[in-house]
Amino acid sequence: MIGDGRRVFAQLFRVGVLFALTQSSGFATAFNFERDTFAFQNATVLKYKNGRPTLERRSTVGDPPNQYTRACFVMTRTAMQFHKFARFNPSGAPLNDKELAARIRKVTRRAPWHEALPANQRINFPGYAHLREMSKARAHVFQENIGSGFATYFRPGNFRMFFQHSPKYQEKTHAHLDAALARGDLFVGYLSTYPKLSINHAVLVYARKPTPLGNKIERYLVYDPNHAEAPRQLTWSARDNSFAYQKDIDFVGGFTRVYQVYGKWLQ
């Protein structure tokens, strides 16, 4: 009986230590697509067919009535910031729009490359269990307060697309991607095929899929703001030192360059 009591006490002690550590350190649970992404999505400005832009007008029947455009950078950045700096309390009363907007801005003003905050220092959002649930119910508040999509065209880090085209640079980016995921961080990638204009987009890479032995293609799970329904896939070829992105209605699929953004100041 005494031995059983000691074992129970030891188990409770370990649980208590683990709880204390998660409350006082930058511990963050693994990124979960169904929990940590937005319920609404970014819309392309142009209409696409087979991955290529057309001059056709969007139809009210075949295309979603979504006027929220040019937001891929701010949506990936905000998803990263909420994962690191926010917490949710589903048992609390939801905030009114004004207070919710103020707290959203508190999250988005934090540098996304900083380490995750401990739970007791995170910005609290009562009334919802996670980001997806809250962004579904309060989409308009998010869209009005996470930042200007148009302003992201002038980010200093974007100008790498004009001159950083070498496979060596992509190899270095791939190493940074693996390093970020290995330490439990997230990686926002700017996808570009300049001087071609087949893609000009930002996505959030949150996990590496297991690679079968002998397979030289590495696969990564991606949150794409244009697709709220499911994760997308980015791949890396060690043979070609190049990335490729999943085919879609608004991208022909295949080769793309990747540039890390929000990994440090001015990136």
* Whether 130 and 169 share a structural domain: no
**Where does a domain end: 150, 182, 198?**
150
* Whether 166 and 191 share a structural domain: yes
* Whether 106 and 191 share a structural domain: no
* Whether 192 and 140 share a structural domain: no
53 Cβ contact partners less than 8 Å away, ≥ 6 residues apart: 46, 47
Euclidean distance between CA atoms 180 and 174, whole angstroms: 10
- 156: burial class by Cβ within 10 Å (0-12, 13-18, 19+)? exposed
Does a cis peptide bond (omega within 30 degrees of 0) precede residue 195?
Answer: yes
Rg (CA), the chain: 21
Partners of 77 in the β-ladder: none
Chain centroid to CA 160: 21
User: Is 180 inside any structural domain?
Assistant: yes
* Whether 159 and 253 share a structural domain: yes
Question: pLDDT value at position 59?
Answer: 52
* Whether 144 and 45 share a structural domain: yes
* Whether 38 and 75 share a structural domain: yes
User: Is 85 inside any structural domain?
Assistant: yes
Per-residue pLDDT of the chain (267 residues; tens, 9 = 90+): 444 444 434 443 343 433 443 444 444 689 999 999 999 999 887 777 666 777 666 554 555 556 899 999 999 999 999 999 999 999 999 999 999 999 999 999 999 999 999 999 999 999 999 999 999 999 999 999 999 887 888 888 888 988 889 999 999 999 999 999 999 999 999 999 999 888 999 999 999 999 887 788 999 999 999 999 999 999 999 999 999 999 988 888 999 999 999 999 988
* Whether 133 and 161 share a structural domain: no
Question: pLDDT value at position 65?
Answer: 57
User: Is 188 inside any structural domain?
Assistant: yes
Partners of 191 in the β-ladder: 201, 258
- 138: burial class by Cβ within 10 Å (0-12, 13-18, 19+)? buried
* Whether 75 and 143 share a structural domain: yes
Q: What domain count does the chain have?
A: 2
Euclidean distance between CA atoms 86 and 70, whole angstroms: 24
* Whether 161 and 201 share a structural domain: yes
Tokens of 118: 């401990």
* Whether 138 and 173 share a structural domain: no
User: Is 55 inside any structural domain?
Assistant: yes
User: Is 178 inside any structural domain?
Assistant: yes
- The range of the structural domain enclosing residue 85 comes to 33-150
Euclidean distance between CA atoms 138 and 141, whole angstroms: 6
**Where does a domain end: 150, 170, 198?**
150
- 123: burial class by Cβ within 10 Å (0-12, 13-18, 19+)? middle
User: Is 116 inside any structural domain?
Assistant: yes
Provide the 3-class DSSP secondary structure of residue 61.
coil
Under DSSP, the state recorded for 259 is: E
Question: pLDDT value at position 197?
Answer: 84
**Where does a domain end: 135, 150, 165?**
150
Question: pLDDT value at position 9?
Answer: 40
Question: pLDDT value at position 179?
Answer: 98
Provide the 3-class DSSP secondary structure of residue 193.
coil
* Whether 129 and 172 share a structural domain: no
Euclidean distance between CA atoms 190 and 56, whole angstroms: 27
Euclidean distance between CA atoms 42 and 74, whole angstroms: 10
User: Is 160 inside any structural domain?
Assistant: yes
User: Is 246 inside any structural domain?
Assistant: yes
